[in-house]
């Protein structure tokens, strides 16, 4: 499948390796959702419920990746699931998915730059936040503008810091649980007493279901494997390898991290903590715990910003490549970078940043709500596209001809669809997340029917 629908507009350079793809998918997931929002999940679902919800989240993301793997290996194109939705669901669905995903990352970009600036205030309180936010925005833009190789190397560096931090946290945390590491000044085997103190679901099934969307959002970023497939040197080998290795690491990192947090922090304390990792390190007596975590979270934010600008620019380029927006955006420079799409995505991030400051209760609230809804909506399109792709493939080919196959098709993709729909329904049970449905569904409907009105075709 061609990666570019226009002649003489430049070409992407396949400069990413399997190592880059693996670190990109892993780094895209380990972010502020794990470092800062895990306490909320524990408070809502209960300690044991939080562990179960993250385990279910890992299974769901793995099922989504199995469907994406078949599509990305058969058709390694930049734009990924937008292109697949366009060809195997319908163009209006593809148009909607692309804008949902673009908004998701663009809103995240704006908040990441502001968040990075605020974190720097801990060390440099006399310097205004906006100066650091602007500096980080320029750095991330520069990394992405140089080449896809510089983006991939930077992301690998950022990801490695987060991975090392998580491994250290898990090792020390397990040591504290079993009494080998001092916790609150004592070498006492805490084991799983806090984990099981409140039963499986202390706030009931509705509260448990409501956190599934939060957990799905925490796992968002793995789908970058598909977007990057079009710029990977050997997608037939690199994509399946990244999928296989990513899920194992996700289970280890996310589930074990939540087990440690829920075991060491009582449910009430985890719920009110804004920095649960810092609390645990402090109680272990780790020196400069707050400063260390501040640096690690800063790294996570810059990593998310790096990935976000890459993903949003490629999605905008893909819309132009499919003829859905101006052809001018489809231009790729000599470094293999879609510079116009990159500039427009950065402009979108700046507008999102300003809306978070000057219209927090109106425009920004709507954007954030759409972004939260977008993750599940985008994931939902992937198994649907894969089912339709397989049907179309079998008309002229055999299953054996596929280099990578989604197992148990179509049963497994249908199970994926059901699990994702459950998480969407779960939003309605959480007053804080319900606004995602109020803004997300109308926005998706507007995109869908706008496309029909503009192009007179679904």
Of 61 and 197, the structure prediction assigns the larger pLDDT to 61
Asked if residue 445 lies in contact with residue 95, where contact means CB atoms within 8 angstroms, the answer is no
Angle of CA points 335, 338, 340, to nearest 5°: 125
Question: At residue 79, does pLDDT exceed 80?
Answer: no
Query: Exposure pattern of 396-429 as b/e (b: 16+ CB <10 Å)?
Result: eeeeeebebbbeebbebbeebbebbeebbebbeb
* pLDDT in the model for residue 383: 96
User: What does the alpha-carbon distance between residue 53 and residue 434 come to, in Å, rounded to a whole number?
Assistant: 19
Packing angle between helix 256-264 and helix 148-177, nearest 10 degrees?
40
Q: What is the mean pLDDT of the chain?
A: 84
**Backbone phi and psi for residue 232, each to the nearest 5 degrees, phi listed first:** -105, 140
pLDDT per position as a tens digit, 274-307: 677 778 888 888 888 888 888 888 888 888 888 8
pLDDT of residue 49: 83
Per-residue confidence (pLDDT) for residue 8, from 0 to 100: 64
With a pLDDT cut of 90, the percent of the chain lying above it is: 24
What pTM was estimated for this model as a whole? 0.88
Nearest to 379 by CA among 418, 432, 435: 418
Those residues whose C-beta lies under 8 Å from the C-beta of residue 281, and which sit 6 or more positions away, are 169, 172, 289, 292, 293
Question: For 53-64, what is the mean pLDDT?
Answer: 86
Rounded percentage of the chain residues whose pLDDT exceeds 70: 94
CATH superfamily, domain 18-429, is Amino acid/polyamine transporter I (1.20.1740.10)
The pLDDT score that the predictor gives to residue 344 is 95
Q: Which is more confident, 202 or 355? A: 355
The rounded distance, in Å, linking the Cα atoms of 27 and 43 is: 26
pLDDT digits (tens, 9 = 90+) for 147-158: 888 888 898 888
Higher pLDDT, 412 or 362: 412
Query: Is 97 a residue whose pLDDT tops 90?
Result: yes
């Amino acid at each position: 499948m061609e990666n570019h629908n226009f002649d003489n507009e430049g070409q992407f350079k396949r400069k990413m390796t399997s190592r880059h793809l693996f670190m990109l998918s892993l780094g895209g997931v380990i972010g502020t959702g794990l470092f800062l929002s895990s306490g909320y999940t524990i408070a809502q679902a209960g300690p044991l419920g939080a562990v179960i919800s993250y385990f279910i989240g890992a299974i769901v993301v793995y099922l989504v990746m199995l469907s994406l793997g078949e599509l990305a290996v058969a058709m390694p194109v930049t734009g990924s699931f937008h292109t697949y939705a366009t060809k195997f669901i319908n163009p209006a669905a593809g148009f909607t998915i692309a804008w949902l995903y673009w908004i998701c990352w663009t809103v995240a970009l704006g908040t990441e730059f502001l968040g990075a600036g605020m974190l720097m205030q801990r060390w440099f309180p006399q310097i205004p936040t906006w100066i650091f936010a602007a500096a980080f925005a320029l750095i991330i833009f520069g990394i992405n503008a140089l080449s896809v190789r510089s983006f991939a190397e930077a992301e690998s560096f950022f990801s490695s810091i987060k991975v090392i931090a998580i491994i250290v946290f898990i090792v020390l945390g397990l040591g504290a649980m079993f009494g080998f590491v001092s916790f609150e000044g004592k070498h006492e085997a805490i084991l799983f007493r806090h984990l099981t103190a409140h039963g499986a679901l202390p706030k009931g099934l509705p509260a448990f279901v409501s956190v599934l969307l939060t957990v799905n959002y925490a796992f968002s970023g793995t789908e970058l494997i598909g977007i990057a497939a079009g710029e990977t040197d050997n997608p037939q080998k690199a994509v399946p390898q990244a999928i296989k290795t990513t899920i194992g690491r996700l289970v280890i990192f996310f589930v074990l991290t939540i087990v440690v947090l829920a075991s060491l922090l009582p449910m009430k304390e985890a719920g009110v903590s804004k920095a649960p990792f810092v609390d645990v390190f402090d109680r272990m007596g780790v020196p400069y715990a707050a400063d260390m975590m501040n640096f690690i979270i800063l790294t996570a934010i810059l990593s998310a910003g790096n990935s976000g600008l890459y993903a949003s620019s490629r999605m905008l380029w893909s819309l132009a490549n499919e003829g859905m927006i101006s052809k001018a955006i489809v231009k790729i420079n000599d470094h293999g970078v879609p510079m116009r799409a990159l500039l427009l995505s950065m402009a979108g991030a700046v507008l999102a940043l300003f809306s978070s400051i000057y219209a927090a209760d109106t425009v920004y609230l709507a954007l954030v709500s759409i972004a939260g809804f977008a993750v599940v909506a985008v994931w939902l399109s992937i198994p649907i596209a894969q089912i339709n792709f397989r049907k179309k493939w079998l008309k002229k080919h055999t299953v054996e001809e596929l280099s990578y196959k989604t197992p148990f098709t179509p049963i497994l993709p249908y199970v994926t669809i059901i699990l994702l729909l459950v998480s969407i329904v779960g939003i309605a049970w959480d007053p804080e997340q319900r606004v995602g449905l109020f803004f997300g569904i109308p926005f998706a409907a507007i995109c869908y029917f706008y496309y029909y009105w503009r192009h007179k075709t679904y």
